[in-house]
Every structure is written in C-alpha cells, then in structure tokens.
Amino acid sequence: MASSGQQESLSYERTGIPTGRLGMYWFLAGETTVFGGLIFVYLLYRWRNPEWSEHAAHLIDLAGAFNTLILVSTSVAMARAHAAVQRDRLDLAVRNMGFTLVGATVFLCVKAYEYSHEFAQGFVPSTNLFWSFYYTMTGLHAAHLLGGMVAIAIILIGVRSGRNAHRVEYVGLYWHFVDTVWLCLFPLLYLAS
Amino acid sequence: MTGAAHEEPTSFLRKYVFSLDHKVIAKQYLFTAISMALVGGLLAYVMRMQLASPGQEVPGYGMVSPAGYNTLMTMHGTIMIFWVAMPLLLAALGNFLIPLMIGAGDMAFPRLNRLSYWTFLLSTVVLISSFFVPGGAAAGGWTTYPPLSGSAALSGGAWGVTLWILAVALEFAAFLMGGINFITTAVNMRAPGMKLFDMPLMVWMQVAASVIFLFSVGPLIAGAVMLLLDRTAGTGFYNPATGGDPILFQHLFWFFGHPEVYVILLPGFGVIAEILPVFSRKPIFGYRMIVYSTIITGILSFMVWAHHQFVAGIDPRLATPFSITTILISVPIAVTTFAFIATLWRGSIEFKTPMLFALGMLGVFLLGGVTGIHNGTPAVDIYVHDTYFVVAHFHYALIPPVFFSFLAAIYFWYPKMFGRMMNEVMGKLHFWLTITFVNVTFLPMFPLGLMGHQRRISNPNFFEALRTPEVERLHDIATIGAIGLLLSQIPFLINFVWSLFRGREAGPNPWRATTLEWATTSPPGHGNFEVAPRVYRGPYEYSVPGRDEDWLPQNVSG
C-alpha cells in the first residue's frame, strides 16, 4: 500500500506531472485554438486583400517593437521568478514578478497611446476590415494580458507571505503563452507588407 | 472520512450551495438541466401545436406569430443542446462519476469545479432573461448565421442575439473549466493499480468528449467575438458590403458544431457501455476496439464540418472530400455499436429499466445514424437540406444519447446518487411510453421532409405545395406524439421524487457491478471512499469462470 498520507487524501499524481501544471497545459491548448482560429481567419483575409499593407503602414512600428522588447523581458523575468522559487529565494521571485507587473503596465500604456493616436487619425474598428482585425486581435490580447496581471498580482501577494509558491510556475506558463501570441501578432499586423 | 483534498463543510450553505464536492456540483447541474429540459420541452409543445393547427390559439401560450415562432425554434435548439444535453451528459454524469470511477477523493480542481457551475448558472440566468428584453429573445436559429444575426435591425432588436452570444460564451467558459478538470482528473488521479486501459469506458468517453470540446470551441469563441463586434462596434467581419464573408461564420460555427455532436454522443455511449455488461452479466465486447474507435471518431470529427454547407455556396470540389470523411466517421461509430450488440450475445440478460433505456438508445440511434449517411451525401443532401428530413435525422441522432442514455444513467446511478432505488414498474411504464411517443413524434417528419416541407417555417399553409391533407395528417400525428412524450415524463418525475423518500434502501452495490463507484456507500460520503481503493483488474469482469459469484470487482484482490 502507498504511504498513509496518500491513502488519506486520495489525490494522486499518476503522470508525475503536478496537477496544476497539467491543467494549465490543457487550458493553454484551448487558448491556442482561440487565437489560432482568429489568426488563421486573419491570414485568409490578408491573402485576399493585398492592399491592407497600406493600412498597416499607419501603425507605429517603433511602438510595436518597443512593446515586443518589453514583453520578452517580462517573460524572462517570469522564468527567473520560477527559477528563484526552485532555489527557495521567494524574495527574488517577488521582485521578478513585480518587474513583470511594471513591464506589463508599460506595455498597456504604450498600447493605449497607439490606440488614441490611431483614433485621432480616424482609424476606428469600423473603418475597414483591417482595422477591425487589428483592434479585435490586439484587444483580445490586451484582455489576456490584463487577466495575467491580476493573476500575477494575487500570486505575488501570496508568495510574499510564503504561500502558493508553486503557482509562480503555472502563471509563468500562461504569461509565456500571452507573450507568444504577441510575437505572432506583431509581425502579422505591423510588419507584413 | 478524509478522502477529499478539501475539508468537510459543516454549514448548509457550504455543503449544498457553494459546495466544492463533485457529487453536490453534479446534482446542481442535474437539477438545473432538468428544469431547462422542461422549458425546452414546453417550447417544442407550442411549436408542435402551431404546426398541427396553424393560426389557432395554443392553449397556455396564445397566438404564435411568425417572429414568435422563430424565437421558439431558436431557443428550443439552443436550450436543448447547450443547457440540457451538455450539462446532463457531461457536467452532471461526468462530475458525479469520474472521481468515483477512478477511485479519487474529488476532482483535481474543486474550486474550478464550483466556479464552473456558478458560471453555468449565470449563463442560464442571462439566457432566460433574454426572453423578457425589448424585441424578444434571439430568433436566428441555434446556428445564429450572419448576416441576419450580425445586425440589430435584422434580428429583432439590439438585445436578443447579443444576450444569446453572451450566454453561450459563459456556457462555453463553464464547460472549458469542467473539461480541463475532467481531463486532468482522469489522467492524474487514478487510484493505484488503475492503468489507462483499466478505466471504465464512461471515463474514456468523458475525457474524449472534453478533449474534442476543448479543441473545437476555440475558433468559435473567436468567431463569436467577431459577431458580437459586428453587432455592437460596427465592424463588418461577416458583412459582404464591407468585404466580409458570412460563410466564414458557418465554417467557424460548424468546425465546433459538428464535433459538438460527438461531445454529446460519446458520453451517451459511455452510459451504454457501463450498463450493458451489468445486465448481460458479461464483459464488454472489444474494450480496446471501443477505445480506439472513440479516438478515431474524435479525430475524424474535426474533418467533417463542411457537410453542413453543401448548399451554402462552398466550392463544389470541397463537397466530395467532406462527404468521404462524413461517411468514414460512421465506421468507428458502427464498430462501437456492433461491440455493444456483441456484448449481449449469449448474456443472461435482465430487462431492468436502465437496460431497457440502454437498448432503446441503440435502437433509436440506428435510425439517426443511418439517415446521417443520406445527409452526408451531397446528391441527397441538396434535395433534403433544410427540410423536416434533417429535423427528423438529428432528433433521431441526439434524442438517444441525450434522452435515452441520460434516463438509463439516472435509473442506473440513482441508487448511488441518493441511496435509494427507483420504482421498477413506473420505470418500465416510463420507458414504453417514451420510446413509443418518440417514434410517433419524429417518424412522420421523414416523409414530411421528403415531400419538400422546409424546416423552421411557422405555418405550412403559407406554401401552396404544403396545403395538402397528407401534410396536415403527418403534422397532427407528430403533435400527438410530442404531447404524449411530454406527458410520459410525468411517471418519471413522480418516481424521481417519490423514490427520494420512499424508495427501497439501495445498499452499496444493488446491481452487483464491478466498477469502483459501487465499492463505496450509497450515497458516498465526503471524500468518496472510506478505505482507499486499489485496482487489480479491468472494469468488466463478469461471469469469471471458477468463482461462486458472477462478478469480480476491480478493487478485490485475488
């Protein structure tokens, strides 16, 4: 018979993968199909409408590139936070998660500046299909980013008092996913001509 | 007992309302879905009355306008698929059975499970509230095709379809949470000794359905966001006037919508796979073959969607490959069905109520499955598309898993859920009335469709060709069947409530079954098992030679 502790909780890890990580994998698989579907549909339209590159030229490439840099560095920070948890350096994990929150806030501010700049030029979601896609895709991404920030903030508060350190890894996985989505959106929306 | 990952609650609210216990959450889903089934059934009653005597007042409802009929038809389909079929077969049965069948104390994520139910309840409230908004509830069919659904002016006001999208989105979120829970639990939390191929088929089917749902629903979520923006933000994703494409929505919808059929069917099959061996006292025939067929069905289900669009203006060269995959998918389904029939061969069959419903499921489903091949063939489909032939087909395909499998499951697992047996005489009466009236209702729809009767029309008399005594007679028969079918559920409801208080005490294993849920008390306490079960063998060891008893439970050594 297994150890008495296991017998009492009737909660097993048959695959050897922690249950939380396994659940996160499946969640991200589902999320992949949401953004995958959206990006696939965008590509279909994009091939049909080569003239969209003229609209894409109105996006601020520099802002997009800067935001890409920011997001990649926050992903690095989340990876470092996870590594710190493994070494039991919770203070370091908290600091890295804090950096991520600051970075994400900068990202959203830049994004808000871009939106207002584009609105001022008269490019709104109903202008044409390119702008519809642009606002839908970046908006959905920003919503995911915001959700991740809330999760990180909650976990950060817990880790500060020594609780739920294992969740740093799971929210990190999610964060890398949101980052990866942006790495697809940036070239497809800003750079492709 | 300390089996669950969470503490045993003491207050009423924590125990029965905001519960973390998978068994309580399963019952919450169960009762919500049964209530919604009554709503969906009453909508069908109003439609059937209108079709039998068009333009006359329907008792209990009043006059049915063409616009009102569209709402009835839309909400009937929406409710029956999303608020009855899925919560009953996946959420109620899956939640109750998966942890018990694999010997776990609870779901992998009990809090996520609770959030799933409350999100579902919120979606129910949103959907029901849409009946009472200006312009009425959604009226674009359960498929909600744009361009009609994409514009407030064309869809009966700003509210109906918008609330419909919101409600369905919440429902999807609830089932995604549930699905992630199901998969993780089955993969990670099996009791010591239980290998993947020792899992009861019900668990396989629930997991397969959850995986199919998880991978098919994403693109539709994106598509629904786009539809919502078309309605509210002035975008034109589906509007040809702005370069958009309404067919795109059909692709996104059916990429989800067809796999959804298997999301519902597979758990229905799972119920049958559990019941047949018990009442035949024989191991299931071809356990592994059923598992492989299920996996192949799941994969193929992603490659058939455009068979819904043969007349929608898709490239005709696309029709043939989709027709081939559609007919191909009937192969693994037929393998499963034949394995079920072979399980009966030379068994010592007991016709208890769960067994009757299980056999009824197979019989009725046969007709739905076979007519699916007609619809999957473009040459036939172009003729019968959007007629009552299709209505008859999908009711014959979906009523077996949703209605028969579910009822079989209730009669079978009721003792485990509530600790008491249901009444056999009333159960048998319920079965014979139900199977009779299902056929009285839906068989006439095949000839109606072949006569060219379109679906989704409020009044056949508007059409010259349908103003015949024959159409009228078939509609009358179907309506009598529908009313009979509704009334046939009265013995079930009485039996359900009466047995709660007066049913015979069940004991842990009233059916002499082998799977783990029967190895604990009825109903199981908090944490499910008093002694952690250990698994020694597969789930269907009946009539093992050389033993006094004709069943050998999974958790008994030697």
Give domain status of residue A100, yes or no.
Answer: yes
CA dihedral A50, A52, A53, A58 (to 10 degrees): 170
What domain count does chain A have? 1
Question: Mind listing the pLDDT tens digit for each residue in B360-411?
Answer: 999 999 999 999 999 999 999 999 999 999 999 999 999 999 999 999 999 9
CA distance B128 to chain A (A): 27
Q: What mean pLDDT do residues B260-286 have?
A: 97
Whether residue B20 has pLDDT greater than 70: yes
Instruction: Indicate if the pLDDT at residue A120 is higher than 50.
Output: yes
What is the nearest CA distance from A133 to chain B, expressed in angstroms?
8
Q: Buried b / exposed e across B293-320, counting CB within 10 Å, b at 16+? A: bbebbbebbbbbbbbbbbeeebeeeebe
Give the pLDDT score at B4: 59
Provide the shortest C-alpha distance from residue B150 to chain A (in Å): 14
Q: What is the mean pLDDT of residues B200-204?
A: 98
CB contact under 8 A, B244 and A129: yes
pLDDT score of A7: 37
Q: How far apart are the first and last CA of chain A?
A: 64
pLDDT band, residue B432 (cuts 50/70/90) = very high
Cα(B67)–Cα(B155) distance, rounded to whole angstroms? 10
Residues A29-46: tens digit of each pLDDT: 999 999 999 999 999 999
Contact A12/B219, CB-based, under 8 Å?
A: no
Nearest CA in chain A to B2: A8
> Which of A3, A8, A10 should one mutate to test binding to chain B, selecting the residue with the greatest count of B CBs within 10 A?
A10
Identify which has the larger pLDDT, B14 or A112.
Answer: A112
In chain A, residues with a C-beta closer than 8 Å to the C-beta of B179 are: 26, 30
- B408 touches B334 (CB < 8 A): no
- Compare A9 and B73 and report the one with higher pLDDT: B73
Write out the CATH class of domain B19-519. mainly alpha
Identify the pLDDT of residue B135.
Answer: 87
CB spacing of A11 vs B189 below 8 angstroms:
yes
Q: What's the per-residue H, E or C state across chain A?
A: CCCHHHHHHCCCCCCCCCHHHHHHHHHHHHHHHHHHHHHHHHHHHHHHCCCHHHHHCCCCHHHHHHHHHHHHHHHHHHHHHHHHHHCCCHHHHHHHHHHHHHHHHHHHHHHHHHHHHHHHCCCCCCCCHHHHHHHHHHHHHHHHHHHHHHHHHHHHHHHHCCCCCCHHHHHHHHHHHHHHHHHHHHHHHHHCC
CB contact under 8 A, B184 and A31: no
* A42 vs A179: CA distance, rounded Å: 19
Q: What is the pLDDT of residue B496?
A: 97
CB proximity A43 to B under 8 Å: no
Lowest-pLDDT range, A144-158, B113-127, B233-247, B433-447?
B233-247
A19 touches chain B (CB under 8 A): yes
- Sign of the torsion angle spanned by Cα atoms A133, A138, A139, A141: positive
Q: Where does the pLDDT of residue B42 fall: very low under 50, low under 70, confident under 90, or very high at 90 and above?
A: very high
CATH of residue A56's domain is 1.20.120.80
Please state, in angstroms and rounded to a whole number, the distance separating the CA atoms of residues B41 and B147.
Answer: 29
- DSSP strands (E only) in B325-451: none
- Amino acid at the residue A81: A
**Chain B residues near residue A23 by CB distance under 8 angstroms:** 108-109, 112, 180-181, 184
The yes-or-no verdict on residue B9 having pLDDT over 90 is no
Average of pLDDT values for B114-122? 97
Q: Please name the residue of chain B whose CA is at the shortest distance from the CA of residue A33.
A: B218
State yes or no: pLDDT of A2 exceeds 70. Answer: no
Enter the tokens of residue B216: 């098919």
Residue A35 resides in a domain = yes
* Residue in B with minimal Cα distance to A133: B237
- Arithmetic mean of pLDDT over chain B: 95
> What would the pLDDT profile of B298-352 be if each residue is shown by its tens digit?
999 999 999 999 999 888 899 999 999 999 999 999 999 999 999 999 999 999 9
pLDDT at position B521: 95
- On chain A, the residues whose CB falls within 8 A of the CB of B184 are 19, 22-23, 26
Tokens coding B417: 């859920």
Is the pLDDT at A1 greater than 90, yes or no? Answer: no
Compute the average pLDDT of residues B49-75: 94
CB contact under 8 A, A22 and B188: yes
User: Between chains, do A129 and B217 touch, taking CB under 8 Å as contact?
Assistant: no
Can you give the residue ranges of every domain in chain B?
Answer: 19-519
Contact status, residue B259 vs residue B295, Cβ threshold 8 Å: no
A36 and B236: CB-CB below 8 Å?
no
pLDDT tier, B5 (very low <50, low <70, confident <90, very high otherwise):
low
pLDDT over 80 at B421, yes or no: yes
Can you give the pLDDT at residue A9?
A: 58
Q: Does A14 touch chain B (CB under 8 A)?
A: yes
Residue A15 near chain B (CB below 8 Å): yes
CA gap B145, B156 in Å, rounded = 14
Interface pTM (ipTM) of the complex? 0.92
Q: Which residues contact B553 (CB under 8 A, 6 or more apart)?
A: B509, B513, B514, B515, B516, B518, B519, B541
> Residue B151's pLDDT band (boundaries 50, 70, 90)?
confident
pLDDT one-digit tens code per residue, B400-413: 999 999 999 999 99
Q: Please give the residue range of the domain that contains residue A130.
A: 16-191
> Which pLDDT score, from 0 to 100, does residue B1 have?
38
For the cut 50, the answer to whether the pLDDT of residue B275 exceeds it is yes
Percent of chain A with pLDDT over 90: 89
Instruction: Report residue A6's pLDDT band, with 50, 70 and 90 as the boundaries.
Output: very low
Q: Is B387 helix (H, G, I), strand (E, B) or coil?
A: strand
Residues whose CB is less than 8 angstroms from the CB of residue B215 and which lie 6 or more positions away in sequence, other chains included:
A29, A30, A33, B259, B302
pLDDT at residue B546 in the model: 87
